[in-house]
Amino acid sequence: MDLGINGRTAILLGSSRGLGRACAESIAREGVHLVINGRTAADVESAAREIASTYGVTATAVVGDAYDEATQVRLLEAAPRPDIVLLNGEGPSPAKFGDISQGEWSEALHRGLVGPLTFVQKVLPGMCERRFGRIVAISSAMVKSPNSLMSLSHGTRLGLTGVLKGISKDVARHNVTINQILPERFDTARQEQMARIAMKMKGISYDEARAEQVASIRARRLGRPEELGDAFAFLCSAQAGYLSGQNIQMDGGSYEGVF
């Protein structure tokens, strides 16, 4: 399937590893030029180099926390007219609701809600003017079925979900779409970290923790990052211009609710 985005330009926040990296690969394969971002210079630079050489696209490395103003400025210097934007970033650690401090709330909300929206404010007018834009956020399945241990995560991400939905209605007429992918349990470093946390919390072995993760998913396996990458690529395609404001769960069929 030709996605019709050969030659387009994308800024991908949090794309040096894991799901973000998979998204980068899936659209590089389609001929999209990329700005790769992450906080660890070595990771970002090697990702950019590998992707550029594998797919024959330009891939610029911008190191820094994507939710700091200074990094956002540099991202846009690297690609002043992005057609595609991925909003992605590391989620906060689990914490008991009663233990969360006001400082932790502020930090999570800045990273997960205010920061991404500030970046959207910067790119949206140009996308509307140029009549092409594809904004996709990697959120979490928990925005639809929250677990109090992840309050910092879903509290933040649900706020973002609502704001993005509101905006999506305004910009649809300019061929700018805004969608979210809601992953649950992909086989990345994040799930390894969650398994280690479960080991401590429940006093189980690493293998048991991993087995519990698999058992919690209806598909009886974890997701593969490249599956999410390809769903992202489809949402970025030219032919996905009539599909906006959606929250698509990739959770191995696990969500209990109808909608």
Interacting positions 62-121 with a copy of itself (CB under 8 A): 97-98, 100, 102, 105-106, 109-110, 113-114, 117-118, 121
Residue 44 and residue 64: Cα distance in Å, rounded? Answer: 9
Residue 179 Cβ vs a copy of itself, minimum distance, rounded to whole Å: 9
Residue 53 Cβ vs a copy of itself, minimum distance, rounded to whole Å: 20
Residue 25 and residue 36: Cα distance in Å, rounded? Answer: 11
Q: Which of 46, 58, 216, 254 binds a copy of itself (CB under 8 A)?
A: 254
Interface stretch with a copy of itself, choices 12-20, 51-59, 196-204, 225-233 (CB under 8 A): 225-233
Could you say which residues in the range 169-198 bind a copy of itself, by CB under 8 A? 169-173, 175, 177
User: What order do you get walking across the sheet with 59-63 strand by strand?
Assistant: 59-63, 33-38, 9-12, 84-87, 133-138, 176-183, 247-250
Whether the CB-CB separation of 3 and 237 falls below 8 Å is answered with yes
Task: Say whether residue 216 binds a copy of itself (CB under 8 A).
Answer: no
- Write the binding mask 24 to 43 for a copy of itself: x where contact by CB under 8 A, - elsewhere: --x--xx-------------
Task: Say whether residue 156 binds a copy of itself (CB under 8 A).
Answer: yes
Interface stretch with a copy of itself, choices 50-58, 72-80, 154-162, 197-205 (CB under 8 A): 154-162
Task: Say whether residue 214 binds a copy of itself (CB under 8 A).
Answer: no
Instruction: Give the nearer residue to a copy of itself in terms of CB position, either 49 or 56.
Output: 56
Instruction: Give the nearer residue to a copy of itself in terms of CB position, either 16 or 139.
Output: 139
Instruction: Give the nearer residue to a copy of itself in terms of CB position, either 45 or 248.
Output: 248
Instruction: Give the nearer residue to a copy of itself in terms of CB position, either 106 or 205.
Output: 106
Instruction: Give the nearer residue to a copy of itself in terms of CB position, either 90 or 187.
Output: 187
Q: What is the dihedral of CA 12, 156, 259, 14, to 10 degrees?
A: 20
Residue 140 Cβ vs a copy of itself, minimum distance, rounded to whole Å: 10
